[in-house]
């Protein structure tokens, strides 16, 4: 269990931070950008959950938030090939498969799309769409990290990719199971 006794450490005052293996990097390092984006995603999902009190998807999203902490820990501890002295937390294929199962289950309740959907509709749906876009950014950051770190756990990118799909499906569910989706009408406002 993690125990935090001090909230501020002053170690970041000069633009540096420590990774999970205690190595030091700039706060602008692509690895820090990746797990920082995952942290932002987790907060966006928290905002979504706040708009969905008691909703059936709340338990699923609570589990996702916990897994996102696992994913952030995965990204925070680089795999250097050396023994770090502890077993790093890594996202697994089973966690990705659980998202795929959830996507299939929730999507089965929706009619197929006949247009792209604009991010909006109900407030809960809009928040879930926002979380989806933050998820896509976190995924892009993880992909960028994978391009410079060939040892990066590929399940992190897969998890984020599936999670953005799940958030899209859940946003449609929050829009009266897709009936209140705001559909894109190409060229609608042209002269």
Q: How far is CA 10 from the centre of its chain?
A: 28
Round to whole Å and give the CA distance between 101 and 104: 5
The residues, any chain, with a CB within 8 Å of residue 134's CB and separated by 6 or more, are 37, 40, 41, 44
Picking from 16-25, 66-75, 150-159, 172-181, which range would have the lowest pLDDT averaged per residue?
Answer: 16-25
The overall average pLDDT reported for the chain is: 89
Q: Which pLDDT tens digit goes with each residue over 120-150?
A: 999 999 999 999 999 999 999 999 999 998 8
For 66-94, write each residue's pLDDT tens digit.
999 999 999 988 787 777 777 878 999 99
Residue written as tokens 């289950």? 105
Q: Let me know: does 33 contact 146? Beta carbons within 8 Å.
A: no
CATH 3.20.20.150 fits 25-77+87-180, yes or no: no
Residue boundaries of the structural domains of the chain? 25-77+87-180
This prediction's pTM: 0.89
Percentage above 90 pLDDT, the chain: 64
Q: CA 86 from chain center: how many Å?
A: 25
């Amino acid at each position: 269990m993690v125990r935090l006794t001090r909230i501020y450490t002053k170690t970041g005052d000069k633009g540096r931070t420590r990774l999970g293996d205690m190595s030091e990097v700039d706060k602008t390092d692509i690895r820090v950008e990746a797990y920082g984006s995952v942290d932002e995603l987790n907060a966006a999902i928290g905002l979504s959950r706040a708009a969905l009190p008691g909703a059936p998807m709340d338990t699923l999203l609570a589990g996702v938030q916990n897994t996102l902490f696992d994913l952030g820990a995965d990204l925070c501890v680089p795999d250097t090939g050396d023994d770090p002295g502890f077993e790093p937390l890594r996202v697994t294929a089973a966690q990705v498969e659980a998202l795929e199962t959830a996507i299939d289950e929730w999507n089965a309740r929706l009619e197929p799309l006949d247009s792209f959907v604009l991010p909006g509709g109900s407030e809960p749906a809009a928040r879930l769409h926002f979380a989806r876009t933050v998820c896509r950014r976190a995924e892009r950051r993880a992909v960028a990290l994978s391009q410079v770190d060939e040892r990066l756990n590929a399940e992190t990118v897969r998890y984020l990719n599936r999670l953005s799909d799940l958030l899209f499906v859940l946003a449609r569910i929050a829009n009266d199971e897709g009936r209140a989706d705001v559909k894109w009408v190409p060229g609608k406002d042209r002269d």
